[in-house]
A and B are shown apart, each in its own frame.
Chain A
Amino acid sequence: MGESILTAQNLSKVVPSAEGELTILHPLSLELNKGDSLAIVGASGSGKSTLLGLLAGLDLPSQGEVILAGRALSTLDEDQRARVRAEHVGFVFQSFQLLDSLNALENVMLPLELDGRKDAREHARHLLERVGLGQRLSHSPRQLSGGEQQRVAIARAFAANPDVLFADEPTGNLDSHTGERITDLLFELNKESGTTLVLVTHDERLAHRCRRLIRLEAGHLVGPLEP
């Protein structure tokens, strides 16, 4: 079904360590189509975040290739990869990564301003209303609860209308009730905008809401599981 947006071929990552070379990700391949959703699950240190970083082009693999939106990332330099991110990718992080000096509205405006959009303020306001924070526009991150901060981050991630949304433990810092509401929001927006979703989590309930799921153990893929 549909066309491929993200492909990983024989992806592996090796880092130097005190005891010689350490393989933190053993070769794996996968392919995602537009509108797909993928959960990467595993214990701490299993290589989940490493895989996410490689898929998003934040880091380069030791071997193998990632093709994101038709571009082979290893052939691009860091600035060209940055442009691919700007045009095709959005992020949601476990630690929210909001800028303290900006209020909620300005944090959401940031990617729009970088894109030079004239309606940045309007669009950001609309998005914040969509995630239920219409009354909190001028609050600084410190004045918001964890769940509210993550909603701002989600609004920011969807602001630039990305093809692929990478989420790293999006509910990791939240209580289960809030986590659930954030998850609902994430999937609603994903459905509305037709974005491809890649999320790293050890929350099995969140993982099972994705169409596809892979499990990592000590850097090994222990089996793709179809839902």
Chain B
Amino acid sequence: MARLPLLRLLSLAVRQLLRDARAGELRVLFFALLVAVAASTAIGYFGARLNGAMLLRATEFLGADLVLDGSSPAREEQIKVGTDLQLQHARVVEFASVIATDNGIQLSSIKAADAAYPLRGELKSAPQPYAEEQPGGGPSPGEAWAEARLLTALNLKVGDEIDIGSKPVRITRVLTYEPDRAGNLYSLTPRVLINLDDLAATGIVQPGSRVTYRELWRGEAPALEAYRQVIKPGLEANQRLLDGRDGNQQIGGALGKAERYLNMASLVAVLLSGVAVALSATRFANRRFDASALLRCLGLSRRETLWLFTLQLTVLGLLASLAGAVLGWLAQLGLFALLHDLLPADVPPGGLIPAIAGMGTGLVALAGFALPPLAALGRVPPLRVLRRDMLPIPASTWTVYGAALLALGLIMWRMSLDLVLTFALLGGGVIAALMLGGILLLGLQSLRRLLARASLPWRLGLGQLLRHPLAAAGQALAFGLILLSMALIALLRGELLDTWQNQLPKDAPNYFALNILPADKDAFGAHLMTLQAQAAPLYPVIPGRLISINGEPVQDIVSKDSSGDKATQRDLSLTWAANLPADNELTAGTWWTQQPAGDVPGVSVEAKVAESLKLKLGDHLMFTVAGVNREAQVTSLRSINWDNFQPNFFMIFQPGTLQDLPATYLTSFYLAPGHDKEVIELSRSFPAVTILPIDALLEQLRSILAQVTIAVEYVLLFVLAAGMAVLFSGLQSTLDERIRQGALLRALGAERQLLVKARRIEFGLLGATSGLLAALGAELVSLVLYRFAFDLPWHPHPWLLLLPVLGAVMVGGAGVFGTRRALNASPLTVLREG
């Protein structure tokens, strides 16, 4: 039992803290924590809010925040849950129907939507085919908005009347863009949009007919999450929930990488702060050895002394964290204000979580890095009041570094939620630090031999480092870690941006051409050649549906909410090809080389679909194609680069297996902007062909990537600023002794120039060594990161060799600047303070 109640210790601690603060004792530690928490809070907020904004953009691809999609109407209570949660609601019903006129018949994809649709994004339409499009609105009852290709196919014009089932509607506008069409580029039939009020009158939607019902929801994230939680357990077999991430594969990929990068950046900010906190907490402890001994003389027990300092640090930590969180919040506000032209107006606020996480991070770092040096205070022998040379028995090295590693590990795991990555980084870091530290120690010791013959400034500067080689190695490692973190973030930024840029090459296809009849195939290809369009090959397309796997019906096998589900719920675009398409990569099996096929033809399946359908090589698949059943055997699995905007297929058959069935052809091509006339002409020459411009989609994707890029650049700036601040505060903690030594030398008659030179040598060497360590470390860590976290190809980065120079300049400059007091203040003043 402590003699003093905790409350009295706390009040003592607070008073002591205020006095220390007034005396300027706590500036370094407070500043380190402040920077750490502010940086990780700002990055946290920025990441969370930007992610929200990007998701918001992504939701446009869905027309809503969340969609309940099913082949039967949603039950009453499923709707009520949403309206009770005050979510905005819209309803869409989709089905296929043949539209017949005197000029022919055309299978069309009808969408009946209520007035609220869409909840995210806008419809776009034009008064005439190929006229300028306008956003907003929707068809009123009795009206239809049809795609231009329907008009072409049936020789209709705006103002004509068509029958949807038994309901006559008048075409009033040409539909040019549906926000939720983007995720489904491969729908082969032209779209007709009608008002939901007309649906019943069509008489088409009967029990048993193939219809998709979509309930669209929009609202605040918590309400949406609540809706998801309530709805999920009661979903029918034919129902699933979709959110922004499901809307589009390309967006999902970009978001995922951006999120990981932002997390990495906050991690680095925390790492930097950890170093700063460790350095300044050690200084805090060292400067309190006398106070600790005195308090013990005054009768405080070891436990009480320890408590007193722990409470001081805790209060300090809480205050600094709170201030840091506020500062971080303000910083991100400023950031968003700066970017307001580029970001959507309604960026969702980040909530409290980033602030709490930032503060938690600061406190965990404080605990992990500051408690070990603090523990030494409890072991200061009281006899120190008589004999200044008595130091506390040092804590076991294992305790000290164990606590720091544990804290780091916890933080890393929380941020990445990836145990393998955490262990890989931590383990690799420890091994690298031990190895580099060992080499450094050996290097320093071998330098000692050269020292005797060196000139005075070198003896002074180098001597300072060599006198405590272990401390010098520790400092070099710490500064090395700071430089490493900054280098790593810079490295990753460049790499990520390059990858993204490459994902969307300037000449990514901006048009898809569908429904090319076999008879038109060659002529169409030739026409594209004359336009000098860069076109993908023409792929045959046959709609078909997977019905069984090894004789078992697919519905029994497929799990809900998986992409396998998507692959079986609707017609697939089947194709055949002799050669593996570009940007496809075999992950298992072999591509067919010989013709003709054996008894059962081969099929190559996209790897993710295969995974969710649990397909293995050799499985027998049964498809129903144009009313005929066709069997195929899985001979290979492929991964597809979905980012390339080329025609991609889940199932590719061996040539010669589907040729007897009716097929159309499909391709994509790039035509430089400003060729609208040529596109219209192309479309008129081949009236049956559907030409889909995907500029809007590409534009959207580009703008999202532009946002991510800006975020990445700013985050980099934050990390660099935090790194610089930490570097200075870290250096500060090593200066006491050097200031004293400088004063002593001046008292002995040394000139300022000599001292400046000695400092430059000392800190320059320290910085250069740190830079070298950082360069080696950054290569090692980047290798691990690229492999495991970012899925990027790794290659050496020669420019990292600039780090030693950078380190020498930065640490050297900061060191000379930091010790200027030893040069300017009266030596007597400095010496009397000691």
- Which B residues from 685 to 715 make CB contacts under 8 A with A? none
A101-B300 CB under 8 A given contacts A58-B386, A93-B386 = no
Q: Is A47 an interface residue (CB 8 A)?
A: no
Q: Is B468 an interface residue (CB 8 A)?
A: no
Contact of B15 among A83, A87, A95, A113 (CB under 8 A): A113
Number of A-B contacts (CB under 8 A): 83
CA–CA, A100 to B25, complex, Å?
Answer: 9
> Could you mark each residue 295-318 of chain B with 1 if its beta carbon is under 8 Å from any beta carbon of chain A, else 0?
111111111000000000000000
Whose C-beta in chain B lies nearest to the C-beta of A100?
B23
- Which A residues from 92 to 130 make CB contacts under 8 A with B? 93, 95, 97, 99-103, 106, 110-111, 113-114, 116
Chain A residues lying within 8 Å of B387, measured Cβ to Cβ, are: 49
Q: Is A86 an interface residue (CB 8 A)?
A: yes
CA–CA, A72 to B540, complex, Å?
Answer: 101
A95–B4 CB distance below 8 A: no
B298–A111 CB distance below 8 A: yes
CA–CA, A56 to B385, complex, Å?
Answer: 12
* Smallest CB separation, B19 vs chain A (Å): 5
Contact of B299 among A82, A101, A116 (CB under 8 A): A82
A87-B299 CB under 8 A given contacts A101-B20, A116-B8 = yes
* Smallest CB separation, B30 vs chain A (Å): 14
A140–B15 CB distance below 8 A: no
Q: Is A19 an interface residue (CB 8 A)?
A: no
CA–CA, A140 to B23, complex, Å?
Answer: 9
Q: Is B721 an interface residue (CB 8 A)?
A: no
Q: Is A142 an interface residue (CB 8 A)?
A: yes
* Smallest CB separation, A217 vs chain B (Å): 20
Contact of B383 among A59, A89, A95 (CB under 8 A): A59
B385–A93 CB distance below 8 A: yes
B386–A49 CB distance below 8 A: yes
* Smallest CB separation, A11 vs chain B (Å): 15
B386–A114 CB distance below 8 A: no
A86–B298 CB distance below 8 A: yes
* Smallest CB separation, B293 vs chain A (Å): 8
> Could you mark each residue 3-32 of chain B with 1 if its beta carbon is under 8 Å from any beta carbon of chain A, else 0?
110001000100110011011010000000
A114–B297 CB distance below 8 A: no
Chain A residues lying within 8 Å of B303, measured Cβ to Cβ, are: 79
Whose C-beta in chain B lies nearest to the C-beta of A169?
B386
Q: Is B425 an interface residue (CB 8 A)?
A: no
B386–A82 CB distance below 8 A: no
B298–A101 CB distance below 8 A: no
* Smallest CB separation, A14 vs chain B (Å): 16
> Could you mark each residue 337-379 of chain B with 1 if its beta carbon is under 8 Å from any beta carbon of chain A, else 0?
0000000000000000000000000000000000000000000
Q: Is A78 an interface residue (CB 8 A)?
A: yes
B20, B299, B381, most chain A CB atoms within 10 A: B299
CA–CA, A110 to B301, complex, Å?
Answer: 15
B4–A116 CB distance below 8 A: yes
Interface residues on chain A, size class: 20 to 34
CA–CA, A100 to B20, complex, Å?
Answer: 9
Chain B residues lying within 8 Å of A84, measured Cβ to Cβ, are: 299
* Smallest CB separation, B304 vs chain A (Å): 8
Chain B residues lying within 8 Å of A85, measured Cβ to Cβ, are: 296-299, 382
Q: Is A52 an interface residue (CB 8 A)?
A: yes
Interface residues on chain B, size class: 20 to 34
Whose C-beta in chain B lies nearest to the C-beta of A52?
B386
Chain B residues lying within 8 Å of A158, measured Cβ to Cβ, are: none
Q: Is A64 an interface residue (CB 8 A)?
A: no
B298–A58 CB distance below 8 A: no
Q: Is A168 an interface residue (CB 8 A)?
A: yes
B3–A83 CB distance below 8 A: yes
Q: Is B571 an interface residue (CB 8 A)?
A: no
Q: Is A194 an interface residue (CB 8 A)?
A: no
* Smallest CB separation, A94 vs chain B (Å): 9
Chain B residues lying within 8 Å of A114, measured Cβ to Cβ, are: 4, 12, 295, 298-300
B20–A91 CB distance below 8 A: no
A91-B23 CB under 8 A given contacts A49-B387, A79-B303 = no
Chain B residues lying within 8 Å of A27, measured Cβ to Cβ, are: none
B300–A91 CB distance below 8 A: no
Q: Is A53 an interface residue (CB 8 A)?
A: yes
B19–A102 CB distance below 8 A: yes
Q: Is B833 an interface residue (CB 8 A)?
A: yes
Chain B residues lying within 8 Å of A142, measured Cβ to Cβ, are: 832-833
Contact of B300 among A52, A82, A95, A168 (CB under 8 A): A82
A58–B291 CB distance below 8 A: no
* Smallest CB separation, A194 vs chain B (Å): 20
B299–A86 CB distance below 8 A: yes
A58–B300 CB distance below 8 A: no
* Smallest CB separation, A68 vs chain B (Å): 13
* Smallest CB separation, B661 vs chain A (Å): 88
Q: Is B294 an interface residue (CB 8 A)?
A: yes
* Smallest CB separation, A105 vs chain B (Å): 10
Chain A residues lying within 8 Å of B386, measured Cβ to Cβ, are: 49, 52-53, 58, 93, 168
- Which B residues from 36 to 89 make CB contacts under 8 A with A? none
B383–A83 CB distance below 8 A: no
Q: Is B388 an interface residue (CB 8 A)?
A: yes
A78–B302 CB distance below 8 A: yes
Contact of B19 among A87, A101, A160 (CB under 8 A): A101
* Smallest CB separation, B463 vs chain A (Å): 26
Task: Give me 7 A-to-B residue pairs in the complex whose CB atoms sit less than 8 angstroms apart, sorted by A's number.
Answer: A49-B386, A49-B387, A59-B383, A101-B20, A106-B19, A113-B12, A142-B832
Name 19 extra pairs, CB < 8 A, besides A56-B297, A86-B299, A111-B298: A58-B382, A58-B383, A59-B383, A79-B302, A79-B303, A82-B301, A82-B382, A83-B299, A95-B388, A97-B290, A97-B294, A100-B25, A101-B20, A106-B19, A114-B298, A114-B299, A116-B4, A116-B8, A140-B23
Chain B interfacial positions (CB closer than 8 Å to A): 3-4, 8, 12, 15-16, 19-20, 22-23, 25, 290-291, 294-303, 381-383, 385-388, 832-833
The 9 A-B pairs of least Cβ separation, nearest first, read A86-B299, A79-B301, A101-B23, A85-B299, A101-B20, A58-B383, A82-B301, A58-B382, A111-B298
